[in-house]
Amino acid sequence: MNREITAQRTPLHQFTVPLSATRRGARLARLLATEQLRSWGMPFDPARLIVAELATNAAVHGRVPGRSFRLGLIVTAPATLRIEVTDARGEQLPPRARVIAGVEPTGSGRGLVLVEALADRWGVRTGPVPCKTVWAELDLGTRG
């Protein structure tokens, strides 16, 4: 199954915002995501935790001086929320293999274990150069 299929559907709701690639920008991403989901009448947990982890990774590991990162929230039918965080470090890919293999990451990488546990799907899309997008999807219809 194509994991990128949700991004190709017509969105019911869509929100994007550029943020500074700083810890403050990462905190703001979580707050903005929470308020946006609330305004759409949607549950904001565990989405805000996923946003916090992906935004923090963009600010810490994807930071390029003078460049921002972008937060995107997309809701498509039937009830799928896609979270996207795009940063300017396309050559710096997350350690996905360590997470899937069940190896406990040391130091950085622990947030991706949380993303793996909370999201129904997640992955990385490279480009346009020099960027990458780390995305996660939540199937809202299966959550209480």
pLDDT in tens, 56-82: 999 999 999 999 999 999 999 888 999
**Distance (Å, rounded) from C-alpha 140 to C-alpha 135?**
16
Q: Cβ neighbours of residue 21 under 8 Å, at least 6 residues apart?
A: 58, 59, 62, 63, 64, 67, 68, 69, 87, 88
**Distance (Å, rounded) from C-alpha 127 to C-alpha 141?**
31
Tokens 């990774």 locate to 57
Tokens 């609330």 locate to 38
pTM of the entire structure? 0.85
Q: In this prediction, what percent of the chain has a pLDDT beyond 70?
A: 83
Mean pLDDT of 76-103: 79
pLDDT confidence tier of residue 94, bands split at 50, 70 and 90 = confident
**Phi and psi at residue 133, to the nearest 5°:** -125, 125
